[in-house]
Structure 1
Amino acid sequence: MSEGTYQRLWVSTHQTLQKLLFQEQFLPDPVPDRERGSFIYRLSSLFLHYLGMMRQLDIIYDQMVQPQKRQLIRRLLDGVAGRILELKEELVQVDLSEYHCLDHMLQDLKLTPADLEVPIPKYFMLEQRKVLQDREAIMAEILEKIGQKDSKTDGVILHKSEAITWIQRAERARQGRLRAKLMREIRKDEECDGRARESNQFENNRDQAAIIIQKIWRGYIQWKRSHQERLSEMEFIGMIPSSSETEYSMSMKQAQNGEELRRQRQKEKELEYEEARTDVRKRLKDKEGADMQEEMKEQIRQWFIECHDLSGQFPEFPDEEMGGSQVIFSGKTPEQVKTEMDFMDEENSKKKGKEKPKEKEEKKKEKKGKEEKLRKGEEETMLKMAPSKFLPIINEGHEEYQIMWEAQKVPMHPNQDIDTDMIQEQERKEVEAEIRIQVDQLMRQELQALRLAVDKEETRPVKVKAKVKKEKREKGKKKDKDLTPNRSVDSLYEELVEEGLIKKSEYVRLSDYIGDYLYLGSALKLGNREPMPSLFDLRQNVILYGVLRLGSAEIHTMAPHVRSILLAGPAGTGKKMLVNAVCTETGANLFDLSPENLEGKYLGKSGVQMMIHMVFKVARLLQPSVIWIGNAEKTFYKKVPKEEKEMDPKRVKKDLAKALHLLRPGDRVMLIGTSDQPQIADIKGLCKTYEKILMVPQPDYATRYLLWKHLIEQYGKSLLNHVDISGLTKVSDGYTPGDITVAVHSVMTERRKIQLIKRPLTPYEFLELLAKMDPVYEEEEVSLKDWYFKTPLGKRHLKAAEDRAEEEAARLARQKKKKK
């Protein structure tokens, strides 16, 4: 795609963004609880529109070359992603569920389920390539030092004599097969000649033979033509995969090569931009720095004189927190500056002093009035949106686009050269800010000298209230004591790798977690049936709660804080795969604190404290990081089984909770637990530790169909013509994605792939393996659902459903009375 294409996409994106910001400005006032459905509808509409916006901004940021435009696009991309997370939190609080049925919204907005897919910004992985390569090299060195190797590189090591014996055996077998085939053909030829001699039917009728040959040949040609036409028709209507795979792969390779070339150009332009910035900054300091300093000094001196003439004494110099001399340069009169400073002092004194008794009495009356209203039921619960932290960022970015780029009327096919005027304007502001700090220090000293010389006033004590307050706040905050002050990060990392607490995550993309959308969720809700979420919904939530927060420091700092996630579902549903996918998409370190992995390591209370401290310290310093606990229910056992008492799975429970509590926004560290049997754990402790609990459901029909098709297609698209995918999907109801994957890989061995030419693939081969596996029975699913409705969010959802049922029953009863 050309530069003009991305420019047009950028312009159209800002046009859509302007409409969205207009909607955000004129959102309705808080609505009563009875209008919950319409409120959810508005939230869902904004959520879907921002998803489309994020998808477009990701494409533009990935392929736009001009560095100054990319800086603006990056801020907008992070802002839109953060706004999506805020809307998701709002939806959860209003809908009382982690999964939302938006199929009616898709229909109204004329969208497809693909528009619901949450995009993962490409820069998450691209910007960490070098870091990931260095980390892999360090881990390989450590493992090699302790005598371990990556399981992927491990192979069967044979002695030289054994290898020669195997090769000779294989070669003799190959020659034997060839000799047997040759002898079989000679024997067939001899038998044919013997039969022909016996029958004595060698009278050749040339015309009759020619006619027979022509018939057979014409029939074969016509059959081939008809078959080809049928295949092309089926391919055209999308019933069979495309036969031109080579052409498709070639075009895809060309597109990927073009994208990589564009990314190389981005790096070149970035270097050019940084060089231009340093040159402009140096030139401004050399040419205009002295004049700027003198001008600022003259302005401040003039302000001193005006204030002295006005009040009879020299003013207090503004603190750095107020902006320093920037307050003076804002174009305000000395009187305005003085009144502002007096107002700030009054506010600080009010904060220090206690509240007046009248104010206390008024607050008490207000509280009592509210409580009485709530008791009487006069005040109805209102639904409203919380204030957004990301909307100001989006507004600021859109305004900058309108001023800097839209006003310039950039052509639709622009060059990607750097705008030097824009660099000069930006650098001038930064140089002025640097010089202003130096000038402030000089002018504070000059102010003291003026007081002494003119008013014969001794130097006033410098205000250090703000600094003292900050120090007190910092002291008041709980800090994690550093148990390893004299150790470097490299030594801690090496120790954790040697102990097996840091592991190399498997390379898995979230797109490999196959799942289709739940198309009938709204219809089921209208029929008073609670729909089970699909694996598509689960993948979406993992991206929202895990990937987007860990991938960007800016998003993590301002988005609603999520420290931990629990994935609860039957074995084989892909929970560990999702953990590895989060690490892959964000480039995160993987720490394994599973009870089985901790057995025999860091024994005793002090050992556990040291282990947790080391893990969280390294995780913070080398963020993003994922701390994984497999079989998370064992950490919160109600009663530890006898066979697991030696393992002591509950020993990290207290220290883990304390360490999690110390994580703050900006610490890109997340605890992800996976559990097959959460019912056997203490639900209170589990829910306190894991803030977000995501149910991992069984795959529905659409998901199983996609999974069978995807797995079989990997071994050749032509195989789909011989296998009844729909039949396999129906029969495999109750089996997990892990069971289906094992069945396909077990059938498609190397030997079976060789035999495909003579013996086509049949669905019965997969069914034989599935019959030997145990499905997930209905009792287990019901048990998991009952457990989920005991969690805090599940309880609220269940209570809301019961209240709605009671209201509906009361309404029907009133209608019956009216009829009577």
Structure 2
Amino acid sequence: MPCDYYFKKWKCTLKNLTKIVELDLEYQETKIHDKQICDAVQRLSGMLGSYILCYNDALDCLQHNLQVQKTEYIANVVEKIVLRILELKHQLTKLEGTPFQFLSNGLIQGKLTPFNTEFFNIPAKYERPEVIQLAIEAAFRRVEELKRAETKSYDNSENDQIPRDGLSENVNWWDDETINATEHKGINVTEVYDVEEKLSEETLKRREIIALIQTHERTRQVVRINTQQKQKREIWEKELKGILKPQAPFDLRERSAKLIQRVLRYYFELKRKRLRDCKRDELLNIKFYDTINTEQPEIDKQVASDYYKLSKKYVQQRDIICSRYKQNYLKKNGDDIAEEFRGYIRDWFQKWYREAKFFYDIPKENQGGPIVIFKEELPSPLEWLDDYKAYLETKKANKNKTALQLKWEKEAGKEEEMMLKREELIKKKSEAALLKKMMKNPTLHPGYHYPFSKKTNNILTAIQNYYNHWSEIDDGEANEAKEKFILNIDEEHLFMETKFEICNSIITDMMEELKLLKNSLKIEYERNEEEIPNPKKEKAKRKKKERKVKAKIRDDLQDILTDLANNGYLKEYPKMNFADFIGDVNYAGADLRCELLSTVPFGGEIRAVWWERCREVIHGFRRILLVGPRESGKTTLVHIMATVNDTALYELDPFKIEVENTNTEYLQELINSVVSCAKITQPSIIHIRYVERLFYTKVPTEEEYKNFDLIKKFFVRKLFKMIKKQDNITIIGICTEPWMTKSKQMIKTFKYVLLLPETNYSTVYLILRNWALNNRTVPHNLDFQSLARVLRGYPFGYIVKKLDNFLTAKRIVHIAAYGLSSRDVYNFFLEDGNDYMINYEKYLKWYNDKTHWGQLENKCLKERREFKIQVQKWNEKMLKKKKNT
């Protein structure tokens, strides 16, 4: 069963995670020391890679977990791992001065590969209410119906315009303004005109597929005939020259045939066994990665959805059984428990009367309710008496002081506290400045200690918490420990919830009794001519309520969503994952950093950073700016974020706004609709295209007809003001020419800037390899290395489009007959005559000069180079001293 597989995998993951945490703690306790920054970075990178591997395994187990009660504990472990991963990333960023981590050198010690450190999913997702999800889907369906109706009416109108006598369109020659009516010769009725046949798209597609099949068959036949002719000619030439080898003896040929038969039979037996195993694993819904299967992602998605539906079904079953259990328990024992609680609170009243001659107030519901009394979180009578005596003494001391004096004393106390904090802060700053000076001095450089962590022990606590609740059950390996739920585990929790409800239900009765007791106590103090204690009323600490997203579902929501989708503002995006952003990791990045050279990230490092941005979508309002050349994968990253978080995607494009609609009324209505719908359908992403147009330093002449200032007022200022910090909305801006903008203003608007990498050799090679695997007509001996070398620098999307357009039916036949060379492919790229090569240096210069991370990285590299020069001078000085002595 698939649950057995993930049950065992989770056990192994916990063991591996425990070993990694123990090693991490050992480094922290021994305060392991590295002399060089490269060694310190390598150690932290190796630890980060190990945690990422455990995170992927733990998250896989969480997403395929069918034991409902375990989900909370597994999710707790995953959350603690994520916090430690983010802490390690922050420590590496602080050490190197860049948000990109190059882990390749650090993974060697742990025997890991960069594939092990790839993030495949985010830890938690926000589930949108079903009503809103149905409204979004209905809007897209409505738009499709409208488009279908429009195309149908358009086809009908075209059919009505066709002349009935079967003549061509040019028969209405008088409608053509370019032809002079006096010179027109009219229509020759004796001439037969050719009528252009109008075919539907389905017929054209079918004919295209049939032509492609015929082409493939002709290609196969041509290749077979050419091969046979070539082999016959070679044999004939050798026979004429007398160099043809004689045939082997019959006995040798017979032995060879038997050996080949034996090997092939064993091979096909293994192949059949493997196919049976794969089929079995597929039926059991167990993932496997042994074979290359283009349909595997679709299978994985289906398996994931099946697991989700099954786990949801088990959760619903558990809720129904638990609610019935609580109702039965209330009917049987509700009155007895309520009376028991009343008796306990009355005893508490008696205790206060005996020891303090006072009655403490029962906490209200927003302060915890009567349950706080049973938890003994309130002060005891003796503690209260001590506090009350201290309060009376301070009151007596402050009796002759004015309100202004008391205020000054309070302010003086606050000022003293602030002074202590300032002194502590100055001390820390001086220590940091001293350490910075020591880091610049070759003789006093302290090296790099392994940083202390506050998150590591939390992982061990989460693991121990899991073992405390589940170790005995897991050791038994009962089916309920792997799937569904165990009712006995929920009994104590259900009892607690039921008792809590009963306890809150008796608060009104006990409040009435407390009022009577307080009145009697007041009469007693008056009779004894004593003053009743009047303690200072302190503000009780109220428990923070969890924030719930309040989004009022408007009556006209369906119409607004349909209108936005119809106009292209609400987008239906293709489903993508992190692997769809193609690009290898920068294997030489760590070595280049050690050589104090500026290093650019590749696709692998961008995916790691984008994982952090994706997990922040459900943590409030975020603003991101993607900078890079055209067709470099910016929209792909937006679709990945939308898919991973299952968000609604809204797209704002300045060029979609027509000139006649560029007015305050239209733009205000558009922004109001987008923001209101984004808040209701959150988590949401608002994708702003061509951001550089909104921040132009000088508008180009050909674009002066657009009122970008007015569009910017609504697309940036109004839009950003209408979204609050707690709204789970992410705004992503896309910029292709940042040097033409007011950079300070743009970077201030978008807090995080991410520069996408150029299309380098490794990326182009991956694209070409995938192209060859997906198209069998492409020969596998094609010189991909040379082709990747000459195509580097072209935009990512441009290369993909050109390769797709390259394989026409005519060219497929040509490849079958004459083969394919890398020169043919490269010439096809040069046919357009346009220069699509990207000058990536302009992007790097802007990023290093204008953005925070670019400036910080340059500063860190400059300081390290200066320190390296100082070390070399000091070494030379010491060598001279040794020679002189």
TM bracket (short chain): 0.7 to 0.9
Instruction: Give the aligned partner of residue 290 of structure 1.
Output: 335
Q: Which one of the candidate residues 380, 390, 393 is aligned to 1:335?
A: 380
Q: Closer, same or farther in 2 for the Cα pair 1:403/1:662, shift >3 Å? A: farther
Q: Closer, same or farther in 2 for the Cα pair 1:592/1:705, shift >3 Å? A: same
Q: 1:265, 1:368 → 2: CA distance?
A: 59
Q: 2:112, 2:630 → 1: CA distance?
A: 34
Instruction: Give the aligned partner of residue 403 of structure 2.
Output: none
Q: How does 1:238-253 map to 2 (within 5 A)?
A: none
Tell me which amino acid in the other structure corresponds to 1:569. Answer: G
Q: Which one of the candidate residues 806, 815, 819 is aligned to 2:875?
A: 815
Following superposition, the deviation at residue 763 of structure 1 comes to: 2.6
Q: Closer, same or farther in 2 for the Cα pair 1:796/1:54, shift >3 Å? A: same
Q: Is the 8 A contact 1:679 1:787 kept in 2?
A: no
TM-score, normalization by structure 2: 0.72
Instruction: Give the aligned partner of residue 380 of structure 1.
Output: 435
Q: 1:816, 1:36 → 2: CA distance?
A: 22
Instruction: Give the aligned partner of residue 497 of structure 2.
Output: 430
Q: 1:735, 1:218 → 2: CA distance?
A: 59
Following superposition, the deviation at residue 43 of structure 1 comes to: 4.5
Following superposition, the deviation at residue 142 of structure 1 comes to: 3.7
Q: In the alignment, is residue 492 of structure 1 matched against residue 580 of structure 2?
A: no
Instruction: Give the aligned partner of residue 860 of structure 2.
Output: 800
Q: How does 1:306-455 map to 2 (within 5 A)?
A: 306-320=351-365, 322-331=367-376, 335=380, 339=384, 355-357=410-412, 360-361=415-416, 363-364=418-419, 367=422, 371=426, 374=429, 379-380=434-435, 397-412=462-477, 414-415=479-480, 416-455=483-522
Q: In the alignment, is residue 723 of structure 1 matched against residue 782 of structure 2?
A: yes
Following superposition, the deviation at residue 778 of structure 1 comes to: 7.0
Tell me which amino acid in the other structure corresponds to 1:141. Answer: R
Q: Is the 8 A contact 2:119 2:611 kept in 1?
A: yes
Q: Closer, same or farther in 2 for the Cα pair 1:433/1:521, shift >3 Å? A: same
Q: Is the 8 A contact 2:366 2:543 kept in 1?
A: no
Instruction: Give the aligned partner of residue 6 of structure 2.
Output: 6
Q: 2:497, 2:638 → 1: CA distance?
A: 43
Following superposition, the deviation at residue 405 of structure 1 comes to: 0.5
Q: Which one of the candidate residues 739, 752, 776 is aligned to 1:679?
A: 739
Residues 635-657 of structure 1, C-alpha deviations (whole Å, 9 max, x = no match): 22223334334322343545535
Q: Which one of the candidate residues 517, 520, 544 is aligned to 2:588?
A: 520
Instruction: Give the aligned partner of residue 195 of structure 1.
Output: none
Residues 183-236 of structure 1, C-alpha deviations (whole Å, 9 max, x = no match): xxxxxxxxxxxxxxxxxxxxxxxxx9xxxxx999999xx9xx99x99xx99xx9
Q: Closer, same or farther in 2 for the Cα pair 1:132/1:578, shift >3 Å? A: farther
Q: 2:639, 2:386 → 1: CA distance?
A: 55
Instruction: Give the aligned partner of residue 642 of structure 2.
Output: 583
* SS class of match (2:105): helix
Q: 1:328, 1:62 → 2: CA distance?
A: 40
Q: Closer, same or farther in 2 for the Cα pair 1:113/1:373, shift >3 Å? A: closer
Tell me which amino acid in the other structure corresponds to 2:105. Answer: H
Q: Closer, same or farther in 2 for the Cα pair 1:467/1:520, shift >3 Å? A: closer
Instruction: Give the aligned partner of residue 64 of structure 2.
Output: 63
More off after superposition, 611-620 vs 522-531? 611-620
Residues 54-101 of structure 1, C-alpha deviations (whole Å, 9 max, x = no match): 211222123332221234323433453454345434443443212111
Q: 1:357, 1:336 → 2: CA distance?
A: 33
Residues 408-457 of structure 1, C-alpha deviations (whole Å, 9 max, x = no match): 34334634352111111121222222222223343233212211134339
* SS class of match (1:97): coil
* SS class of match (2:17): helix
Following superposition, the deviation at residue 588 of structure 1 comes to: 1.6
Q: 1:243, 1:651 → 2: CA distance?
A: 68
Q: 1:752, 1:340 → 2: CA distance?
A: 96
Q: 1:745, 1:625 → 2: CA distance?
A: 33
Instruction: Give the aligned partner of residue 347 of structure 2.
Output: 302
Tell me which amino acid in the other structure corresponds to 1:768. Answer: N
Residues 682-731 of structure 1, C-alpha deviations (whole Å, 9 max, x = no match): 11122112222111111332222111100221112x73424222221122
Q: Closer, same or farther in 2 for the Cα pair 1:521/1:147, shift >3 Å? A: same
Q: Which one of the candidate residues 682, 685, 700 is aligned to 1:641?
A: 700
Q: Closer, same or farther in 2 for the Cα pair 1:316/1:218, shift >3 Å? A: farther
Q: Gaps spanning 5+ residues in structure 2: where?
A: 163-194, 219-238, 240-244, 286-298, 396-405, 437-447, 527-531, 881-885
Q: Is the 8 A contact 1:140 1:149 kept in 2?
A: no
Q: 2:151, 2:135 → 1: CA distance?
A: 16
* SS class of match (1:104): coil
More off after superposition, 50-59 vs 315-324? 315-324
Q: 1:150, 1:41 → 2: CA distance?
A: 61
Q: Is the 8 A contact 1:303 1:334 kept in 2?
A: no
Instruction: Give the aligned partner of residue 651 of structure 1.
Output: 710
Instruction: Give the aligned partner of residue 194 of structure 1.
Output: none
Residues 124-173 of structure 1, C-alpha deviations (whole Å, 9 max, x = no match): 5999999767633322304544778799xx999996996688989x99x9
Q: Closer, same or farther in 2 for the Cα pair 1:743/1:601, shift >3 Å? A: same
Tell me which amino acid in the other structure corresponds to 1:401. Answer: Y
Q: 1:36, 1:660 → 2: CA distance?
A: 41
Instruction: Give the aligned partner of residue 529 of structure 2.
Output: none
Size of the aligned set, in residue pairs, is 748
Instruction: Give the aligned partner of residue 568 of structure 1.
Output: 627
Q: In the alignment, is residue 138 of structure 1 matched against residue 139 of structure 2?
A: yes
Q: 2:509, 2:452 → 1: CA distance?
A: 45
Following superposition, the deviation at residue 357 of structure 1 comes to: 2.1
Bigger CA radius of gyration: 2
Q: Which one of the candidate residues 599, 609, 614 is aligned to 1:541?
A: 609
Q: Which one of the candidate residues 745, 761, 764 is aligned to 2:804?
A: 745
Q: 1:384, 1:612 → 2: CA distance?
A: 50
Following superposition, the deviation at residue 406 of structure 1 comes to: 0.8
Q: In the alignment, is residue 54 of structure 1 matched against residue 55 of structure 2?
A: yes
Instruction: Give the aligned partner of residue 114 of structure 1.
Output: 115
Following superposition, the deviation at residue 120 of structure 1 comes to: 0.9
Q: In the alignment, is residue 508 of structure 1 matched against residue 576 of structure 2?
A: yes
* SS class of match (1:529): coil
Q: Closer, same or farther in 2 for the Cα pair 1:790/1:267, shift >3 Å? A: closer
* SS class of match (2:324): helix
Tell me which amino acid in the other structure corresponds to 1:741. Answer: V
Following superposition, the deviation at residue 632 of structure 1 comes to: 1.6
Q: Closer, same or farther in 2 for the Cα pair 1:582/1:817, shift >3 Å? A: same
Q: Closer, same or farther in 2 for the Cα pair 1:589/1:687, shift >3 Å? A: same
Q: 2:862, 2:504 → 1: CA distance?
A: 63
Following superposition, the deviation at residue 363 of structure 1 comes to: 3.8
Q: Is the 8 A contact 1:32 1:380 kept in 2?
A: no
Instruction: Give the aligned partner of residue 205 of structure 1.
Output: none
Tell me which amino acid in the other structure corresponds to 1:288. Answer: N
Q: Closer, same or farther in 2 for the Cα pair 1:450/1:18, shift >3 Å? A: farther
Q: How does 1:251-270 map to 2 (within 5 A)?
A: 254=283, 255=285, 256=299, 265-270=310-315
Q: 2:325, 2:432 → 1: CA distance?
A: 67
Higher-RCO chain (CA-CA 8 Å, sequence separation at least 6) = 2
Q: 1:291, 1:395 → 2: CA distance?
A: 41
Q: Is the 8 A contact 1:735 1:775 kept in 2?
A: no
Instruction: Give the aligned partner of residue 188 of structure 2.
Output: none
Tell me which amino acid in the other structure corresponds to 1:564. Answer: R
Q: Is the 8 A contact 1:572 1:736 kept in 2?
A: yes
Following superposition, the deviation at residue 489 of structure 1 comes to: 3.2
TM-score, normalization by structure 1: 0.77
Q: 1:123, 1:817 → 2: CA distance?
A: 58
Instruction: Give the aligned partner of residue 708 of structure 1.
Output: 768
Q: Is the 8 A contact 1:51 1:118 kept in 2?
A: yes
Q: 2:522, 2:690 → 1: CA distance?
A: 76
Q: Is the 8 A contact 1:535 1:697 kept in 2?
A: yes
Determine what percentage of the aligned residue pairs are the same residue: 21
